[in-house]
Amino acid sequence: MSITGGSTTNGIDLDNLAAGWGPTLAPQNLNVSGVVTLPWGFQISVNNSILARTPVEPVISGIDLNGAGNTTFPLNLAAPNLGYNCFPDSCGKAQLTAAIAYFNATWAGKKDARGTTIPSLVVPPNYEFGDPTFDTDFRLTKSFNIPKLREGTKLLLFGEVFNAFNIANLTSYGFNIDKVNANPAAQTYSFGQPQARFNQVFGSGGPRAIQVGGRINF
């Protein structure tokens, strides 16, 4: 299933409202679920979810190139041929490298709208534009008839496994582009680096979890 959608981020270019228009939702979201009834009162169900990466916009912190007062400056306004939030869908790592090379050649060392010296930028050796989310959950249910309690009464005992394959599903990526450190030995990178994984909420893609339970139907 494909998802399309977009929104406008106001204030990044006071002369062009469309500069902040771009996709905001993951372009693909696939859910597959099913239930199989087995002999002897057993039933197994599965739910599988795959969510593509959410669109992101690399930004340059601490500068204001166009006088709009926005000091978390989107890269698409500082380099040509980039759409807002085009990463990682229609733009990729090659486009990021080219955009930063253009920025360094065109802007680095000059003054921005507030008189701040514009820094040179650097691409990390390893990074990602976020992480897709994978989640596979299983439930095994055993049904017992309890006619002595009441006709049609059933006891259901079940066990569930969430994120059965324990996919990491990394999150909290940072997209502030790193600035060049005058001392190469002290250069650090935060762009495109995960800081956490999904929280443990059952069915959300958090770390593998198991639960058991039961209920009575009557």
Residue ranges covered by each domain of the chain: 6-217
Mean pLDDT across the chain: 89
Q: What is the pLDDT of residues 2-34, one digit of tens each?
A: 334 454 455 567 667 777 788 889 999 999 999
Q: What is the pLDDT of residues 36-64, one digit of tens each?
A: 999 998 999 999 999 999 999 999 999 99
| Predicted TM-score (pTM) of this structure | 0.80
Q: What is the pLDDT of residues 138-164, one digit of tens each?
A: 999 999 888 766 677 889 999 999 999
Phi-psi sector, 40: left (phi>0), alpha (psi -120 to 50), beta: left
Judged on CB neighbours under 10 Å (0-12, 13-18, 19+), 59 is: buried
Helix, strand, coil percentages, rounded to 5, for the chain = 10, 35, 50
Strand, helix or coil for residue 17: helix
Q: What is the pLDDT of residues 100-130, one digit of tens each?
A: 999 999 999 999 999 999 999 999 999 999 9
Picking from 160, 126, 129, the residue whose alpha carbon sits closest to that of residue 26 is: 129
